């Protein structure tokens, strides 16, 4: 599904050039749950941004769904993201002025779904994550765990081919993390492709495979999930 060849990312700050990623060669297949690990500054977020077509590499190639995508226009990348990709972040970007139902429905408003179809999708996700009783409430009333479940439901509303997650359980306590990562595991077992960045070894163990970064290099590839 996703393949990179000699992927590089450099940042120029005056006369100083920082190599955030160097010669990244990875393959992520459909249906995998891949975890990208490494300490702060290792390049996890930068790599997720490139794989998710948010940013453009300084060199190398990215193949997504069989096509090389680094030379696409911004409009073409936007369309690919809208049709195939979803994101989940540590900072929970919900719209406080919208109800739980409306937050989950929001991405569907940009697609040619009928109102009936949107309702079916949102109701299914509300039930799936056991938040149906919260549909008319506003997300600011709830803690990080419930808010992140709402954000996950919203991310899945468009049935993405791949879900990118950057420290999705970073704000949760230990029991909440375990429950939330179990949701990821269940989604993956049902066929959802997930690429997650984290520095947490506890969170990483839920993945099928780990890609470890250090100073912008891949230093190890390992299978996970015992």
Structural domains of the chain ordered from first start = 2-223 (3.40.50.300)
| 105-194-179 Cα angle (round to 5) | 75
Q: Over its length of 226 residues, how does the chain's per-residue pLDDT go in tens digits?
A: 999 999 999 998 888 888 999 999 999 999 999 999 999 999 999 999 999 999 999 999 999 999 999 999 999 999 999 999 999 999 999 999 999 999 999 999 999 999 999 999 999 999 999 999 999 999 999 999 999 999 999 999 999 999 999 999 999 999 999 999 999 999 999 999 999 999 999 999 999 999 999 999 999 888 765 4
Cβ atoms of 193 and 30 within 8 Å: the answer is yes
What is the spatial distance between Cα 90 and Cα 67, in angstroms, rounded to a whole number?
Answer: 30
d(CA 218, CA 22) in angstroms, rounded, equals 8
Q: What b/e readout covers 32-53, taking b as 16+ CB neighbours within 10 angstroms?
A: bbbbbbbeeebbbbbbbbbbbb
Report the predicted TM-score, pTM, of the whole model to 2 decimal places.
0.94
- Contact yes or no for 36/4 (Cβ under 8 A): no
């Amino acid at each position: 599904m996703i393949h990179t060849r000699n992927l590089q990312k450099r940042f120029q700050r005056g006369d100083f050039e920082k190599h955030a990623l160097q010669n990244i060669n990875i393959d992520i297949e459909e249906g995998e749950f891949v975890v990208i690990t490494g300490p702060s500054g290792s390049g996890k977020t930068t790599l997720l941004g490139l794989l998710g077509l948010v940013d453009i590499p300084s060199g190398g190639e990215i193949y997504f769904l069989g096509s090389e995508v680094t030379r696409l226009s911004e409009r073409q990348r936007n369309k690919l993201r809208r049709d195939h990709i979803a994101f989940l972040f540590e900072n929970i970007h919900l719209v406080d002025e919208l109800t739980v139902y409306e937050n989950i429905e929001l991405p569907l408003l940009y697609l040619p779904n009928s109102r009936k179809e949107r309702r079916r999708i949102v109701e299914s996700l509300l039930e799936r994550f056991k938040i149906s009783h919260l549909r008319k409430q506003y997300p600011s009333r709830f803690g990080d765990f419930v808010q992140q479940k709402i954000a996950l439901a919203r991310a899945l509303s468009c049935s993405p081919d791949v879900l990118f997650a950057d420290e999705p359980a970073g704000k949760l306590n230990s029991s909440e993390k375990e429950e939330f990562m179990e949701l990821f595991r269940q989604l993956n077992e049902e066929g959802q492709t997930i690429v997650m960045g984290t520095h947490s070894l506890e969170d990483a163990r839920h993945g099928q495979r780990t890609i470890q970064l250090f100073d912008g290099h891949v230093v190890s590839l390992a299978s996970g999930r015992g």
